[in-house]
Structure formats: C-alpha cells, structure tokens
Chain A
C-alpha cells in the first residue's frame, strides 16, 4: 500500500485554469517556462503570441522561451452561402493524435504517458476543444456546418469527458493545464454560478472533478491600476480548489503565480 506522503499530487498538477478571455491565462504560462518546466502547448485558440511577447520582454530569464513548444491547431474555414463554416473537422483527431504521439516536424516527444513531471502539457482552450469535438461529430454524420441535433451534443460531451478522464488518469505523469473560459449557468434550485465553458449544461458542472486543482485568473482595475491575479480559493460563485491549502497563498500575482503555486504544492 503506498504511503500518503508519496501521493502524486506532490509532483503532478492537473490544473483547470479558468478565467475570462483576456484575464491572462496563456501569458501566465511564462512563469512555468522561467522556472524550468518544459511547456508544451496545444494551441487551439491561435493565441500564443502573448506568451512570446512576455518571454522576450526582459521580465523572464532569456532562455525561458526555449522551454516552450507549441502546435497551433485550427480548422480551415470556407464560405457556404454567405455563412462561414469549417471546411473540415480535423482538430479533434489531431489533438488526440498529438496526445498519443506528439510529432511536430522533426520533433517527436512520443505519447504524453511517457512525459515526466517536469513537463507541462497545456491545452488552450477547453472552449475551442469542445467546439472541435462537436464539429467532429457533425462531420462524421455528414452534417458539418449544420445546426447540431440534440443527440450530437451528448456525443460531443462524451468525447470531451473521455479526454478529460484520460488526462486525469494516473498513467499521465506529466502536469496538465487546461485553459478554460467560464460561463454563467443557472439552475432551478439556486442562483447563477460560473462553470467551465464547455458543451451544454450537463458537462460543465462535471469538468472540475477531473482536476486536482482549479485556479482562477482574474484582472481588476484599469490602466495603470490594472492588477492581474491568480486565485487559489473560490471567488464568489467561481469554485476553485488546490491540493495544499496549508501551503499555498490565497492569491498570487499573475506573472509569477503559476510557478509560485507549483513550487508551493511541491514543498
């Protein structure tokens, strides 16, 4: 029987990183690269430019940018009767392919199950990943670009949930960060709450259970008073959780926060 002191949460973080668009989720990865983690990003939002800017503006060590690799996966679009629709739906399969065997040109990192705890897999973002799952189902059924049927939602949700389950599995020893937008959802029994922005209403409340950590990126103020923070504890109706409440701060500054958090939970 393993000892609790050896639990993998000491070395592996499975993080759902939530926040509104522009809150700084992608840019926050810079601190992990600066801390020496190998950061490998599946960029579905086509938005790693901000990370490049941060890692080259002199605020982080010069070689930190060498720790970041990314693969941008987006769908080509086409015009169909004045409506812009995906020309094909390949992102979902390409994501699955990269997780099973990460190849990018001459680079071959193999399956994510072979990665160590000094590596961070980043999926940016769950929102686009969910759209990719739905497009995949529609394409498979010969209805890409059409309005989804009721059953399509359930199938796409199952795809996303299975992928989250796979990433949460103990077999994946590397750290995992999934960036995620949030959306308000009400139910009959209580006030509106914020949940990860993914497909439908059944899946969002379940997403958090596939992560041992949920952190919130949030900005407040404007202009020179703008303050960006990472919260480790629940804020309002946004639920957060962490693996070491006695060790982590309630909040961290965004520019060092992820590295600070990783260090704290491993101490």
Chain B
C-alpha cells in the first residue's frame, strides 16, 4: 500500500498533514500511529460517521443542482431521491440499517428536507468558483512553511465543506451534526479547536478572497425533530499565529518519533470522546497487539492528499 503523504526520506513521517492527522497526533502519538500511519479502523463504521457523510453529501448534491439552474422544488425532490438511493444497500437489497434512534435513514431524510426548507432562501450564498462550480467540498493544500530535517516541505491540507458569502463577506462554512442541544456552549467547543483553526488559516492562504471567519452550520438530530443553528467561530490573528507556532513544535516532535519509529502512548487520552477505539489493544502486552489488531480492525490508507471536490 503506498501513501503519497509520507516522506520519501523518512518513511514514517507525513509530509502532508490534515486536521485529522494533526488532531490524532495531539491526542496521542500511539493513536496517531495506529489510526493514521498504519490506517487501522474498527470493522464497524460508526453510525455518526455514516450519517454525517450522507448529510454532507446530500447538501453538496443540492448545491450543485441549484448552481446548475435547477428550481428549488425540483432540486429538493432530486435530493430526496438521492438520499434514498445512497442509503439503499444494493448488495443486501435493503436500506441502510442503523440501530441509533437519532441517526438513521428516516432522521437523515427528515434532516436534509427540513434543512433545505429552512434555508430555501438562504442568506448565506455559496461562492461561485472561477470554473463556475459551487465552492463546496473543496480540497486544499498549501506549504506550511515548515520543512523536515531533509529539507522536504511539509504541506497542510484538507477539505472545506463550503465557502459562502453573507452580506458580501466570505466565510468558511463547516457542517456539524450532533445529538446534543445546539446553543452557545456547542459553538464554544470550537474555540480553541485544531480543525477550525486550520480551516481559518486555509481560508486566508489558499483562496483568493478575504475570509471573514468560520460559520459552524450545526444540526441537532433528535429522534422526533431536527433543529438547525449557525454560529460564528472567532479566530484572531494572534490565535492563528500561536497555533501555527505550536504546530511547528508538534511536527518536530513527530519527526523525532518517526526517526525512532516509536510512538509513545498518552494514557491520559484513553477515555476521551467516548473512549479510544484502540484502548483494548493498548491494554494488551505489546507482543500480541498485532494479532488483535488484525482480528478486530481493518486497514485503509489515510492519505490527506487525495482530492475530493474541486481544488
């Protein structure tokens, strides 16, 4: 398996980092090693991940249809058909089955329809790219300004959900789904936040427009309703500069670990975010971990340089 984000000189070191990679390393170097470098992931894909991907995908589809000139009602109908299609398992000839009462096929469809109804006349308009396409699911990459000890440039990369204008000012929009109530506390969680800070920097560096900030486009998915709320996530220049400086420290540390091919465990992170998926593995003697990984996990390549939409 080849991974284009890895250094040619130091094969265990990424030279292209996205927010997931940076976040994983900050959380725990061992978690980073297993999930990003080695690409282990649980066999059962999280329902939250599946729901989020479908939700993003449906709204991206809507943006493309509307940009293509399709009237609202037609685009809405088309997106409903699209959601029903992507949540149908052709192989098993049955719909996507989720045992989560909040996040399932019905609540997905409802959330998409309700979102598009609330924002039929959306005051936040998607930016039109130079090629005429809507600025949704945009892949970005840029030189971080840091280099490896061998002189290789280290890139920062990722994907933005949407670039949009509000009252003539441009914003990066990031869609988030949650079961929790969306209020000011929900938005406070994104300050500080690795992903949002990277997006704020990317918005300024990559796109040829002045980015005013980040808007989190939140959707609370409950069993019987979906509620939407958008809020801003502030980032001052000083905060961006501090994050960037810290990034340099993290990258230097990661390069050191890569050179030694040893990624120490941060056992204070094991219980965070509902528990690390590798907790059980890390609790085993090192000699048997690989067997257990192979039994309980599958592998994929985490390559942040893979492009999604337009770049």
Cα–Cα, bound, A149→B220 (Å): 14
Interface pair B231/A155, CB less than 8 Å apart: yes
The secondary-structure label for the interface of chain B is: mixed
Chain A residue at smallest Cβ distance from B166: A140
A166-B237 Cα distance, complex, nearest whole Å: 11
Instruction: Indicate whether B131 reaches chain A with its CB closer than 8 angstroms.
Output: no
Complex Cα spacing A57 to B184, Å: 48
Query: Could you tell me the distance in whole angstroms from the C-beta of B271 to the nearest C-beta in chain A?
Result: 29
Taken residue by residue from 87 to 102, chain A's Cβ proximity to chain B (1 for < 8 Å, 0 otherwise) reads as 0111001001100000
Which A residues are CB-close (under 8 A) to B182?
Answer: 151
CB–CB A140/B169 < 8 A: no
**Neighbouring B residues of A267 by C-beta, 8 Å:** none
CA distance A141 to B124 in the complex (A): 9
Q: For window 221-250 of chain B, which residues contact chain A by CB distance below 8 Å?
A: 228-232, 234, 236, 238
Contact with A along B121-142 (1 / 0, CB 8 A): 1111000000000000000000
CB <8 Å contact, A158 and B187: yes
Give the chain B neighbours of A88 by CB distance below 8 A: 123, 167
Expressed in whole angstroms, the Cα–Cα distance for A151 and B183 within the complex equals 5
A240: Cβ under 8 A from any B Cβ: no
| 1/0 contact string of B165-182 vs chain A (CB within 8 Å) | 011110000000000011
Quick check: is B267 within 8 A (CB to CB) of the other chain?
no
Q: Please tell me the number of chain A residues within 8 Å of chain B, measured between CB atoms.
A: 24
- Say how far A81's CB is from chain B's closest CB, in angstroms: 16
Which residue on A lies nearest to B118, using beta carbons? Answer: A142
Q: Which residues from chain A contact B122 at a C-beta distance below 8 Å?
A: 142
- Are B167 and A141 in contact, with the CB atoms below 8 A? no
Q: Is the CB of B229 within 8 A of A142?
A: no
Q: Decide: A140 near B215, CB < 8 A? Known: A93-B166, A155-B184, A159-B232.
A: yes
Contact B184 A139 (CB under 8 A): no
Asked if residues A140 and B230 are in contact (CB atoms below 8 Å), the reply is: yes
With contact pairs A151-B182, A151-B184 given, residues A139 and B123 touching in the complex (Cβ less than 8 Å): yes
Residues of A within 8 A of B229 (CB): 141, 149, 151-152, 155
B interface residues, tally (CB under 8 Å): 27
Set of chain A residues within 8 Å of B185, measured between Cβ atoms: 154
Partner pick for B166 among A139, A157, A171, CB 8 A cutoff: A139
Are A166 and B236 in contact, with the CB atoms below 8 A? Answer: yes
| A93–B188 touching, CB < 8 Å | no
Q: By the criterion CB–CB under 8 Å, are A141 and B166 in contact? A: no
| B212 is an interface residue with CB less than 8 A from chain A | yes
| B67 interface hit (Cβ, 8 Å) | no
Q: Assuming the A-B contacts A159-B232, A171-B238, are A140 and B184 also in contact, with contact meaning beta carbons closer than 8 angstroms in the complex?
A: no
- Interface: A68 (CB within 8 A): no
Task: Check A93 against B167 for contact (C-beta < 8 Å).
Answer: yes
Complex alpha-carbon distance, A88 and B168, angstroms: 12
Question: In the complex, what residues of A have CB within 8 A of residue B262's CB?
Answer: none
Chain A positions within 8 Å of B292 at CB level: none
A137 interfacial by beta-carbon distance below 8 Å: yes
The interface bits of chain B over 203-223 (1 if a CB of A lies within 8 angstroms of the residue's CB, else 0) are 000000000100100000000
Of B121, B181, B234, the contact of A142 (CB 8 Å cutoff): B121
CA of A150 to CA of B187, assembled, Å: 14
Q: Which of A156-196 contact B (CB under 8 A)?
A: 157-159, 162, 166, 171
**Contact partner, B169, options A93, A137, A149, A157, Cβ 8 Å:** A93
A88 to B236, CA, bound (A): 26
Chain B residue nearest in CB terms to A137: B231
Q: How many Å lie between the Cα of A83 and that of B229 in the bound state?
A: 25
Contact between B184 and A158, CB atoms less than 8 A apart: yes
Other A-B pairs, 4, CB within 8 Å; known A158-B184, A158-B188: A140-B124, A140-B215, A141-B229, A154-B185
Residues of A within 8 A of B (CB): 88-90, 93, 96-97, 137, 139-142, 144, 149-152, 154-155, 157-159, 162, 166, 171
15 examples of A-B residue contacts, CB within 8 angstroms: A89-B167, A93-B212, A137-B230, A139-B123, A140-B166, A140-B231, A141-B229, A141-B230, A144-B123, A151-B181, A152-B229, A155-B187, A155-B232, A158-B187, A158-B231
